[in-house]
């Protein structure tokens, strides 16, 4: 049934271009990205993450990736006419050239999110603080939480609590978590982060991305990551259209996103692969990075699921 | 993460042939059904629902459906060598010829489930009691619960409470319910049915089938319906492989079901359509029977999602 009363605090961050770019090497046409922006704006989606703001000088570029891999403000200004939907970019610790980052008042971007492992929290805080001081909304997204020991995570959260960062993200990088796990993590983050807002980023390896996101939303988590038609690395993300279908707020409208799916996503899904696939389900179950599943799907053995299962579960062959 | 301690009471009822038959008109080969039985038995799955036990005399037969539409005991005896996995059949109220039903001691079937709308509960009890008296395990599966008013449901549950039926099912026929809805229904059924065990049957229209099933399982629901690779009408069901991946009981093994998917389900999915599709998502969101979505997908307009959305949400065109 619809959720009307418990989600008025929520905002949707559509990651189709950024996380979906991991599927097709950011090979989205300008028309695709413009249509996506218009449809998200018409749907009432609050943020669109339009790519990565890493520097090509600091990250090995193959020279083949689309322009959403290394966002350029002048380029964005040419192609996007800003409306209500804010623009976001993701950066990775150690991959950003500070000289690339304009003050927010001169930039097309509103929100900059820093992805980090718990062990690099200090670096992430330094970087996010720079963006904060230049006027951006900022988040720190702690990846691979299911592989972090509690003492290390507690230290990370204590450091972030003392920083000026606005929002902290719970990221289920491996798609291994369930609604009870998210409930546990949201309550833990709440206890440790007294004055921070929270966000969640989920993956659909176990067909739990949407359920996990809604469980977090009902517990007060504010920023909900999603992708149109679930497009994202490997098993993909929470589908934006499901959030719009479920959270029946007056500001939200499902129809424009259905139009985007109809016009662009069906064709794209025929060309590129994402969503519920057995190898990704197996890495999710085993709480592993999906890279082995993605490699398997790219090989001739792509449909040999029992072989992949045996490889991943045989201690002699595979040691975590 | 895996669920080890809260699900030791659970049993899986695989519905691939019965509910999946609604997709392909029960056109499964004997080899397919034999392989499925062997894989479920090797996986430790407790029940396999091998079809419908309705009478062709009482249900318009097109003469084209596979043998799993009108199960025959002699045929089953020829093709299945019974092992640990029990066999189940579904019947519909008013479609069963009592003369077709052998005593359990002479039958290949162990479990007979009666599907009913709340308004036909008295008939369902009469029918299920007949099976009960002939020695079968029995369930009553109340369909379309999201469209039943509380006073009618309360009357149904009170009648079932006084019957000899073993198990009562919560059925999310339209795939419109979420984990909170299931929590509400399980608690309601528990209050009304003092000495009954419970079961759940879910549909995946909103990508919540598995999450709903696990929410119910953790609340003590015993029988969990599922289908291999999610095969079932329209958006399909909870995937059997996800239950086996999540409930890491010593008796369960995921690998044999992966072999079934590899050998049979991938090819079948190329030929037949089920799973997360936008029209089914829309009927789920609207709490409607999927028949309009299935009709749309069978038409030339199959990919015109905004047209379908407009049709389903325009009061002048569509009155519930």
Angle formed at CA A203 by CA A198 and CA A207, multiple of 5 degrees: 120
End-to-end CA distance of chain A: 41
**Closest CB to A303 among B207, B266, B287:** B266
User: Do B124 and B150 have their domain in common?
Assistant: yes
End-to-end CA distance of chain B: 41
- Which residue, chain included where needed, has tokens 């200090």? A122
User: Do A228 and A303 have their domain in common?
Assistant: no
| Residues contacting A84, CB < 8 A, separation 6+ | A41, A44, A46
User: Do B153 and B290 have their domain in common?
Assistant: no
Spell out which residues of chain B touch residue A245, defining contact as CB-CB under 8 Å: 206, 281-282, 285
User: Do B211 and B230 have their domain in common?
Assistant: yes
Altogether, the residues listed in chain A come to a count of: 320
Residue A6 counted as domain residue:
no
Verify whether the Cβ–Cβ distance A245 to B206 is below 8 Å: yes
**Closest CB to B1 among A178, A255, A306:** A178
- pLDDT (tens digit, 0 to 9) for every residue of chain B, 320 residues total? 888 888 889 999 999 999 999 999 999 999 999 999 999 999 999 999 999 998 888 877 777 888 999 999 999 999 999 999 999 999 999 888 888 889 999 999 999 999 999 999 999 999 999 999 999 999 999 999 999 999 999 999 999 999 999 999 999 999 999 999 999 999 999 999 998 999 999 999 999 999 999 999 999 999 999 999 999 999 999 999 999 999 989 999 999 999 999 999 999 999 999 999 999 999 999 999 999 999 999 999 999 999 999 999 987 655 55
Q: How far apart are CA B85 and CA A177, in angstroms?
A: 30
Q: Is B15 helix (H, G, I), strand (E, B) or coil?
A: coil
User: What is the pLDDT, as a whole number, of residue B227?
Assistant: 98
Residue to mutate among A211, A215, A236, A309, with most B CBs inside 10 A, is: A211
Verify whether the Cβ–Cβ distance B258 to A309 is below 8 Å: yes
Residue B6 counted as domain residue:
no
User: Do B49 and B177 have their domain in common?
Assistant: yes
Verify whether the Cβ–Cβ distance B306 to A206 is below 8 Å: no
User: What is the pLDDT, as a whole number, of residue A63?
Assistant: 76
Number of folded domains that form chain B: 2
Helix (H) or strand (E) run with residue B137 in it = strand B137-142
User: Do A193 and A304 have their domain in common?
Assistant: no
User: Do A116 and A256 have their domain in common?
Assistant: yes
Our CA-based measurement puts residue B105 at a distance from the nearest CA of chain A, in whole angstroms, of: 37
**Closest CB to A278 among B261, B281, B310:** B261
User: Do A291 and A225 have their domain in common?
Assistant: no
Residue B34 counted as domain residue:
yes
User: What is the pLDDT, as a whole number, of residue B317?
Assistant: 59
Q: How far apart are CA A115 and CA A292, in angstroms?
A: 21
User: Do A197 and A307 have their domain in common?
Assistant: no
Our CA-based measurement puts residue B83 at a distance from the nearest CA of chain A, in whole angstroms, of: 23
Verify whether the Cβ–Cβ distance B211 to A209 is below 8 Å: no
Residue B2 counted as domain residue:
no
User: Do B112 and B29 have their domain in common?
Assistant: yes
Spell out which residues of chain B touch residue A208, defining contact as CB-CB under 8 Å: 210-211
Verify whether the Cβ–Cβ distance A306 to B259 is below 8 Å: yes
**Closest CB to A306 among B255, B266, B278:** B255
Verify whether the Cβ–Cβ distance B178 to A211 is below 8 Å: yes
Residue A281 counted as domain residue:
no
Taking any CB pair shorter than 8 Å as contact, residues of chain B touching chain A are 1-3, 146, 176-181, 204, 206-211, 214-215, 218, 239, 241-242, 245-246, 254-255, 258-259, 261-262, 266, 276, 278, 281-282, 285, 287, 303-306, 309-310
Low-confidence ranges of chain A (pLDDT < 70): 316-320
Verify whether the Cβ–Cβ distance B204 to A207 is below 8 Å: yes
Verify whether the Cβ–Cβ distance B258 to A306 is below 8 Å: yes
Residue range of the domain that includes B308: 278-313
Verify whether the Cβ–Cβ distance B309 to A254 is below 8 Å: yes
User: Do B299 and B229 have their domain in common?
Assistant: no
Verify whether the Cβ–Cβ distance A242 to B207 is below 8 Å: yes
Please name the residue of chain A whose CA is at the shortest distance from the CA of residue B228: A278
pLDDT digits (tens, 9 = 90+) for A66-112: 899 999 999 999 999 999 999 999 999 988 888 888 999 999 999 99
Our CA-based measurement puts residue B40 at a distance from the nearest CA of chain A, in whole angstroms, of: 15
Burial class (CB in 10 A: 0-12, 13-18, 19+), B54: buried
Verify whether the Cβ–Cβ distance A278 to B255 is below 8 Å: no
**Closest CB to B258 among A204, A278, A287:** A278
DSSP-assigned beta bridge partners for residue A14 = A48, A226
Q: How far apart are CA B244 and CA B295, in angstroms?
A: 33
Residue to mutate among B305, B309, B312, B314, with most A CBs inside 10 A, is: B305
DSSP state of B265: I
Our CA-based measurement puts residue A94 at a distance from the nearest CA of chain B, in whole angstroms, of: 31
| Residues contacting B50, CB < 8 A, separation 6+ | B17, B18, B33, B37, B68, B71, B76, B80, B87, B88, B89
Which of A63, A54, A123 has the alpha carbon at shortest distance from A90?
A: A54
User: What is the pLDDT, as a whole number, of residue A57?
Assistant: 82
CATH number of the domain that residue A231 is part of = 3.20.20.70
Spell out which residues of chain A touch residue B285, defining contact as CB-CB under 8 Å: 2, 245-246, 254
User: Do A151 and A297 have their domain in common?
Assistant: no
pLDDT digits (tens, 9 = 90+) for A255-272: 999 999 999 999 999 999
Spell out which residues of chain B touch residue A246, defining contact as CB-CB under 8 Å: 178, 206, 285
């Amino acid at each position: 049934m619809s959720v009307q009363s418990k989600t008025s605090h929520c905002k949707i961050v559509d990651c189709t271009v950024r996380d979906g770019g991991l599927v097709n090497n950011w090979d989205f046409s300008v028309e695709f990205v413009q249509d996506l922006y218009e449809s998200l704006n018409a749907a009432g989606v609050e943020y669109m993450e339009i790519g990565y703001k890493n520097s090509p000088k600091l990250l090995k570029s193959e020279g083949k990736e689309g322009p959403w891999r290394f966002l350029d403000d002048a380029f964005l200004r040419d192609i996007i006419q800003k409306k209500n939907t804010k623009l976001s970019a993701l950066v990775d610790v150690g991959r950003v050239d500070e000289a690339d980052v304009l003050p927010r008042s001169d930039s097309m971007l509103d929100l900059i999110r820093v992805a980090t492992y718990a062990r690099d929290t200090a670096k992430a805080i330094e970087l996010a603080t720079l963006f904060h001081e230049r006027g951006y909304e900022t988040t720190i997204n702690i990846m691979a939480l299911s592989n972090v020991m509690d003492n290390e995570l507690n230290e990370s959260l204590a450091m972030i609590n003392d920083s000026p960062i606005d929002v902290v993200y719970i990221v289920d990088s491996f798609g291994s978590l369930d609604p009870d796990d998210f409930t546990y993590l949201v309550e833990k983050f709440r206890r440790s982060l007294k004055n921070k807002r929270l966000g969640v980023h989920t993956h659909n390896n176990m067909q739990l991305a949407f359920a996990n996101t809604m469980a977090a939303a009902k517990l007060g988590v504010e920023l909900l990551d999603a992708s149109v038609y679930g497009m994202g690395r490997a098993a993909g993300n929470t589908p934006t259209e499901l959030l719009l279908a479920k959270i029946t707020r007056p500001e939200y409208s499902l129809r424009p996103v259905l139009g985007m799916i109809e016009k662009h996503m069906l064709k794209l899904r025929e060309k590129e692969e994402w969503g519920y696939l057995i190898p990704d389900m197996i890495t999710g179950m085993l709480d592993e990075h999906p890279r082995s599943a993605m490699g398997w799907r790219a090989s001739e053995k792509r449909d040999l699921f029992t072989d992949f299962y045996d490889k991943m579960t045989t201690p002699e062959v595979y040691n975590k």
